[in-house]
Structure 1
Amino acid sequence: MLKALGLGPAEETIYTALLARPTASAEELARRTGAGRAETERILRDLSAYELTQNLEKIDTSDRNWLRSTAVQTTWSFRSRLEPDVYSRGLPILSPAYDAPVDGMNTLPARSGIEVGLSVEGHAGYTPGAVEAASLSYSYDGGTTWTLAPTEQRDGKWTAVLDLTAATGKQVTTKATLTDANGNAVTQTITRAYDVR
């Protein structure tokens, strides 16, 4: 995992401690890892945390084929650092992937036990670590209130289970959060991801 980031032994020790306690101060990390304060501060400057948010919206249309996924907000959390001898490296950001049994119009039946696979893909050459945490929530009121779907991990694959009983005719907004073993995360909210038939 950490070799892929090109970290030396001191950086690896501090990075590992930072993953375990992301809000730790330089002083606390130096104390926990045995590294000097100046060295810890230098490493933290080089290995910075970033958050990037993208908002996408469709132009209003009356075409029924374009009524789903009308807006998508995606927030990526990742760490990156300056590598003086590397010309270009893809950012370690995650793209969520969903395996839902929707039909051609992006609708699901009004029943319980609907399984949705949750996974991630890497951006521009980044190979994600194994997904260590995954959640999927859904809302019938545009995100005012949310229902957290139960999730489980089997053989390294994450699945959320939806209960859409008594939801016939509802428009559904979803919010997924996934984190990989390298500490990178993504949260994606899709307005009207699907409708319930």
Structure 2
Amino acid sequence: MDTMTTAGQRTASTPEDAGTFRQRLLDGLASAIVDNGYRSTTVADIVGRARTSRRTFYEHFEDKERCFVALLAEKNAEMIREIVASVDPAAPWENQVRQAVEAWIVASESEPAITVSWIRDVPSLGVAARQLQRDSMAAFVTMIETLCDTDEWRSAGVGPVPRQLILLLIGGLRELIATTVEDGGRVSDITEIAMRASIALLDPRR
């Protein structure tokens, strides 16, 4: 059964409970970032929004930074799944680029505060965050390598795409999205330029 804290909030006592409370803490951090930004968010903010206790928080995470890293890792994996699911591997390769870029932008625009926090706050954090950056970049590189290494891409004389170009593509899209959000613009407004730039970068014939 669940145990109770002195504040009347529940703590996890089973594996199922642990997963639920962990997710509530991640959701609590996400909500706090939207309202206050990552740097102004405290552990008290997170547990208050998660309706649980500091004890439960520290059962799952060493500190706020580790919670942030876990949140971004989850969001990253979710975004990659959405992009992959949006791409039709039988479509002309330029159409596939549009599908992927549009899915990337939709995912970014759905949670702009998290998107900007990812790009602006992570570089100032510690070792765990730097590892997250490397893991995230590796996952996106693998995703793009896989999407571009198909019969459709090879028959068009485009794929496979060199890793260096993929790194340039990812970095450019992230910075463009972050700058657009920070300037108060709509991420969807950059869809066409992002698509044209991606096609120009990925096509060695241009």
Q: Which has the higher helix share?
A: 2
Q: Which has the higher strand share?
A: 1
Determine which structure has greater relative contact order: mean sequence separation of CA pairs < 8 Å that are 6+ residues apart, divided by chain length.
Answer: 1
